[in-house]
Amino acid sequence: MTDRFVHEHGASRVVFGVGALDRAGDEVARLGARRVLLIADRHSAAYADTLAGLLGDRVRGRIRETATHVPGALADAAAEKAAAHDADLLLCVGGGSATGLAKAVALRTRLPIVAVPTTYAGSEMTPIWGSTRDGRKETGRDPAVRPVTVIYDPALTTALPATLSAASGMNALAHLVEAAYAPRLSPLTAAVADQGIRILAEALPRVVTDPEDMAARSGALQGAWLAGWVLGTTTMGLHHKLCHVLGGFFGLPHAATHSALLPYVTAFNRGAPRLGRVARALGATDAATGLWDLRATIGAPAGLAELGFGAAEIDKVAGLVAAEPPAGPRPVEPAGVRAILRAALDGARPATAEDTP
């Protein structure tokens, strides 16, 4: 049977390299922006100060408060501030919460975004937005929220502690791995996903061993760039659905939840033919155990229980996920979701392929 696929490729300008932050002023000028709203998370305040110095009076307002999963009220207030300053550009610096807030404002205002990521979240490369109200996380796709320019400066990631680097790296890997069983995956996206996995599997152990290793930081950030690009060209599946439910309803930290779940959702989908490519890219014989081994090597979060999720909530999550099941290689039913969550509670190594019925 011949392949059938859909490939949608949105364009972002990427400026990559150590010291790329210094080019932010040129990039803003290239876009003709004169009234910039600067958004930064608290961990990136120093980088935001640098950007404010580079841009001078072109920065008309600053937002210093962000939150994971983008609370709707926070997004509404940020959009009102953009309107009050008559902003013509959003400039965000930080992790996924800063990028997510900028996207929420762009969704409401249609303003362009220039993103300066400081983690490996990858959301800066996608048209995917997310927001949380009343404990429920809603996501969608809109080309208007994809940043028009992304400035990747590996030097900005050296401030990430090893544990956060590890969790963020597993988050990026989740985008690449889930592409392996996305419906109608294109050959280009599959090749990029393989390369991203290889880069991250090689770079992340070096990043956590020596956080100042700039070559490793550069590799990890390139892997994150590819992960975001892949996520933006494919559909999300069971893994991301679970993460959104756990984040929206229980407030679990985003990257750590990705890390805790990824080996077990991969084991659940073990029959997907393209997961063999994932295993080879990891240098492993099995994708699920290969991901678990990498996670253990880099010390990334390994169990949902340590994140505050309890066994008593498993049935609720299973019902929510199975009520609106995502596409995937296996039917998503409550029993299967419960099995994933039980396995992910303590983070034990998944059964090998030979042990799986």
Q: Residue 75: which CATH number?
A: 3.40.50.1970
Q: Within this chain, do residues 146 and 120 fall inside the same structural domain, yes or no? A: yes
Q: Are 168 and 217 in contact (CB under 8 A)?
A: no
Q: Within this chain, do residues 123 and 173 fall inside the same structural domain, yes or no? A: no
> What gap in Å lies between CA 113 and CA 148, rounded to an integer?
6
Only one residue has tokens 């280009």, namely 188
**Domain end point (choices 157, 184, 218):** 157
pLDDT of residue 136: 81
pLDDT of residue 212: 92
Q: Within this chain, do residues 307 and 194 fall inside the same structural domain, yes or no? A: yes
Q: Are 171 and 301 in contact (CB under 8 A)?
A: no
**Domain end point (choices 135, 157, 179):** 157
Q: 1: which DSSP letter?
A: -
Domain that holds residue 53: 13-157
Instruction: Check which CATH number belongs to the domain holding 200 and give it.
Output: 1.20.1090.10
User: Is 307 within the bounds of a domain?
Assistant: yes
Q: Within this chain, do residues 45 and 135 fall inside the same structural domain, yes or no? A: yes
Give the pLDDT means over successive 10-residue stretches in the chain (357 positions).
59 90 96 98 95 97 93 95 98 95 97 97 91 84 95 94 94 95 88 97 97 95 95 90 91 94 96 94 97 97 95 95 91 95 95 61
pLDDT of residue 249: 87
Q: Within this chain, do residues 149 and 196 fall inside the same structural domain, yes or no? A: no
pLDDT of residue 312: 96
Q: Within this chain, do residues 61 and 93 fall inside the same structural domain, yes or no? A: yes
Question: Residue 309 has which token pair?
Answer: 């999720």
Express the helix, strand and coil content of the chain in percent, nearest 5 each.
60, 10, 30
| Burial of 339 (C-beta count, 10 Å sphere; 0-12/13-18/19+) | middle
Q: Within this chain, do residues 166 and 136 fall inside the same structural domain, yes or no? A: no
User: Is 5 within the bounds of a domain?
Assistant: no
**Domain end point (choices 157, 185, 203):** 157
User: Is 8 within the bounds of a domain?
Assistant: no
Residues 6+ apart with CB under 8 A from 13: 27, 148, 149, 150
pLDDT of residue 351: 84
pLDDT of residue 314: 97
User: Is 114 within the bounds of a domain?
Assistant: yes
Please work out, in degrees rounded to the nearest 5, the angle formed at the alpha carbon of residue 340 by the alpha carbons of 266 and 136.
100
pTM of this prediction? 0.91
Measured CA to CA in angstroms, residue 322 lies from 20, 102, 334, 336 at distances of 44, 31, 6, 9
User: Is 241 within the bounds of a domain?
Assistant: yes
User: Is 172 within the bounds of a domain?
Assistant: yes
Within 10 angstroms of residue 81's Cβ, the number of other Cβ atoms is 17
Q: Within this chain, do residues 277 and 233 fall inside the same structural domain, yes or no? A: yes
Q: Within this chain, do residues 153 and 166 fall inside the same structural domain, yes or no? A: no
User: Is 1 within the bounds of a domain?
Assistant: no
Residues 6+ apart with CB under 8 A from 33: 58, 88, 89, 112
Q: Pick the closest to residue 112 from 98, 137, 132, 92 (CA basis).
A: 92
Q: Within this chain, do residues 234 and 127 fall inside the same structural domain, yes or no? A: no
Instruction: Give the number of domains in the chain.
Output: 2
Q: Are 131 and 168 in contact (CB under 8 A)?
A: no
Q: Within this chain, do residues 309 and 283 fall inside the same structural domain, yes or no? A: yes
Q: Within this chain, do residues 187 and 324 fall inside the same structural domain, yes or no? A: yes
User: Is 7 within the bounds of a domain?
Assistant: no
